[in-house]
Amino acid sequence: MTVASVIKDSESRMSKSMDALHHHLGSIRTGRANPAMVEDLQVEVYGSIMPLNQLASISAPEARMLVIQPWDKGSMKAIEKAIQSSDLGLNPNNDGVVIRLNIPMLNEERRKQMVKQVHGHVEEAKISVRNIRRDAMQSFKSLVADKQISEDDEKRAHDQLETLTKKYVEMSESIGKDKEAEVLEV
C-alpha cells in the first residue's frame, strides 16, 4: 500500500458517495415528473419484492405525468398497491394497459418537507466523505508505523486528503443547493 493508492482509493470512494447522493436526490419528488421518483419503489410480486424498474418501463411523456407500462399485465395491481402505500402521495390511474401518475403541484408545506429530505441526504453524503477521510488517515498512520513512509510524507498526504475532502464536501453542498432550488421552484 502506498500513499498514492490510498488517495486514489479515497477519491474513488468519495466519487461513489456523490453518485449515491445524485441517486437519492433523484428519487425526491419535485413539481416535475421524473422516472427516478418511482424506479426503486419496492413491489411485492410473484412471491418476492422487486424494484419497479425491473417490472415495467417508466417514462415521463409530459412535465407532470409518469407512465408505467408493466411487462406483465398480472403485476398491475401489485404496482398500483406499492405506489399507493409509498410516501410519494401519488394516486395511480390504471387503465388496464398502463398506469398513469399525475404529478400535482407541491404545496408549501410539502416543499419544506422535501427540502428537509434533501438536507438529510446531503448530510449523509458529507458524513460518508468524512468517514472515507478517517479511513485514509488511519492507513497513513499504519504506513508510518510500518516505516513505509516518513512523518513528512504523512503530513503531505494529509494535506492532499484534506483538499480532496473539501472538494467533495463542497460538491455535495452544491448538488444539494441545486436540488433544493428545483424543489422550491413553483
The verdict on 128 and 165 lying in the same domain is: yes
The verdict on 152 and 172 lying in the same domain is: yes
Question: How far apart are alpha carbons 118 and 178 in whole angstroms?
Answer: 10
The verdict on 116 and 180 lying in the same domain is: yes
Q: What confidence tier does 34 reach under pLDDT thresholds 50, 70, 90? A: confident
The verdict on 137 and 95 lying in the same domain is: no
The verdict on 11 and 40 lying in the same domain is: no
The verdict on 139 and 176 lying in the same domain is: yes
Please say if the pLDDT value at position 19 is more than 90: yes
Output the CA–CA distances (angstroms, integers) from residue 66 to 9, 19, 23, 37, 38, in the order listed.
39, 24, 18, 9, 9
CATH number at 17 reads: 1.10.132.20
**Last residue of one domain, picked from the residues 102, 126, 156:** 102
**Last residue of one domain, picked from the residues 85, 102, 119:** 102
The verdict on 46 and 97 lying in the same domain is: yes
Question: How far apart are alpha carbons 176 and 185 in whole angstroms?
Answer: 14
| 54-105 pLDDT, tens digit each | 889 999 888 888 899 998 888 888 888 888 888 777 788 888 888 998 887 7
The verdict on 53 and 114 lying in the same domain is: no
Question: Which domain range does residue 16 map to?
Answer: 3-26+107-184
Q: What confidence tier does 29 reach under pLDDT thresholds 50, 70, 90? A: low
The verdict on 96 and 118 lying in the same domain is: no
Please say if the pLDDT value at position 35 is more than 70: yes
Per-residue model confidence (pLDDT) at position 186 = 61
pTM above 0.75, yes or no: no
| 127-137 pLDDT, tens digit each | 999 999 999 99
Q: How many structural domains are present in the chain?
A: 2
Please say if the pLDDT value at position 159 is more than 90: yes
Question: How far apart are alpha carbons 153 and 57 in whole angstroms?
Answer: 52
The verdict on 21 and 40 lying in the same domain is: no
CATH number at 45 reads: 3.30.1360.40
When the pLDDT of each residue in the chain is averaged and rounded to a whole number, the result is: 88
The verdict on 21 and 112 lying in the same domain is: yes
**Last residue of one domain, picked from the residues 68, 102, 136:** 102
The verdict on 49 and 80 lying in the same domain is: yes
Strand partners, 65: 62, 102
For the chain, what percent of residues have pLDDT higher than 90?
40
C-alpha cell at 97: 394497459
